[in-house]
């Protein structure tokens, strides 16, 4: 299968290892990865902060860049950005009464997948042949959990990893407090939420906190490091890519 990588602006700029692991994992599984280099950002930050005009312009750009049919599927290591493309592009198109964008977004939506969806639903895999000898706890980021309804797909993938000990995170489904610009506008409330999330992670005794979204991981990692907790954060792709 030929898969186009939608790496997201945040992972591209601040967490390149997530993109690298996604590429290496898919190639190891025998698939071809293409990277449309014109991609920048899906516009989620603008849309969620209340700047739909700017977000719509970025959405139009996105459907142009990824609209080509030289690939079978699009994959992203970020459920929130997948949700943006799948759900919010249509809403932006409606609000802007942009029929072309609505049609392009509708055509694109079923082809865009979160990494765990691509692996489990499209490729029919649970065991990707990874080996990771660590104690791992998993935070199911809000947009993956409720937005995309990923369910236990990421957990099934993690359970199939050799030598990995999966431990349950207390209050796993509670938000870590990131929320994009929320963490800047309401930094204190966000910090209180992060404190509880970090405490939950520490209670598990895990070496690694895993999640499927680079942005939430950035936030959780910021809290763990500041507290010198000694727990690493890794994206699901990085664990599944490990051999």
Partner 1 sequence: MSGFASAARAGLDDPQLRRNLRQATTTIRAKRDAAVAEVDDWEGLRTAGAAIKDAALLALDAHLERLEANVVAAGGQVHWARDAGEANAIVTALVRATGADEVVKVKSMATEEIGLNAALAAAGIAAYETDLAELIVQLGDDRPSHILVPAIHRSREDIRALFERELGETGLSTDPAELAGVARRHLRERFLRVRVGVSGANFAVAETGAICVVESEGNGRMCTTLPDTLITVMGIEKVVPRWEDLGAMLQLLPRSSTGERMNPYTSLWTGVTPGDGPQAFHLVLLDNGRTTALADAIGRQALRCIRCSACLNVCPVYERAGGHAYDATYAGPIGAILSPLIDGFERHATLPSASTLCGACYEVCPVKIDIPSVLIHLRGRVAREHGAPPSERAAMRAMARVLGTRRKYELAQRALRTAGRPLSRDGRLERRLPGPLKPWTTFRDLPAPPEQTFREWWRSR
Using CA atoms, how far apart are residues 31 and 28, in angstroms rounded to an integer?
7
The token duo for 22 is 């996604």
Question: Between β-strands 165-167 and 232-235, what pairing exists: parallel, antiparallel or unpaired?
Answer: unpaired
3-state secondary structure of 156: helix
Q: Which of 31, 134, 146, 232 is in the footprint of partner 1 by CB under 8 A?
A: 146
Which helix (H) or strand (E) segment holds residue 44: the answer is helix 44-49
Q: Which of 103, 129, 226, 243 is in the footprint of partner 1 by CB under 8 A?
A: 226
DSSP, res 87: I
Task: Give the shortest CB-175-to-partner 1 separation in angstroms.
Answer: 4
Instruction: Answer yes or no whether residue 138 interacts with partner 1 by CB under 8 A.
Output: no
Which helix (H) or strand (E) segment holds residue 137: the answer is strand 135-138
Nearest to partner 1 of 165, 174 (CB atom): 174
Instruction: Answer yes or no whether residue 231 interacts with partner 1 by CB under 8 A.
Output: no
Instruction: Answer yes or no whether residue 43 interacts with partner 1 by CB under 8 A.
Output: yes
The footprint of partner 1 (CB under 8 A) covers: 7, 9, 11-16, 18-20, 23, 35, 37-41, 43, 45-52, 54, 57-58, 61, 88, 91, 142-143, 145-147, 173-175, 177-196, 218-219, 221-223, 225-226
């Amino acid at each position: 299968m030929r898969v186009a990588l939608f790496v997201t602006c945040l992972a591209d700029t601040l967490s390149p290892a997530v993109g690298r692991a996604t590429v290496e994992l898919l190639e190891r599984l025998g698939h071809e990865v293409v990277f449309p280099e014109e991609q920048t950002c899906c516009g989620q930050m603008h849309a969620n902060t209340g700047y739909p005009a700017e977000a719509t312009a970025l959405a139009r750009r996105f459907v142009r860049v990824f609209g080509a049919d030289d690939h079978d599927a699009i994959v992203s290591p970020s459920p929130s950005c997948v949700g943006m493309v799948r759900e919010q592009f249509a809403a932006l198109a409606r609000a802007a009464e942009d029929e072309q964008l609505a049609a392009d977004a509708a055509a694109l939506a079923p082809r865009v997948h979160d990494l765990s969806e691509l692996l489990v639903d499209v490729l029919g895999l649970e065991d990707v042949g990874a080996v990771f000898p660590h104690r791992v706890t998993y935070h199911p980021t809000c947009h993956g959990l409720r937005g995309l309804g990923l369910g236990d797909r990421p957990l099934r993938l993690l359970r199939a990893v050799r030598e990995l000990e999966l431990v349950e995170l207390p209050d796993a489904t509670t938000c870590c407090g990131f929320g994009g610009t929320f963490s800047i506008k309401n930094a204190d409330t966000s910090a209180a939420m992060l404190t509880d999330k970090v405490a939950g992670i520490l209670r598990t005794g895990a070496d690694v906190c895993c999640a499927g979204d680079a942005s939430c991981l950035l936030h959780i990692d910021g809290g763990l490091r500041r507290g010198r907790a000694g727990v690493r954060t890794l994206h699901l792709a990085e664990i599944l890519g490990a051999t």
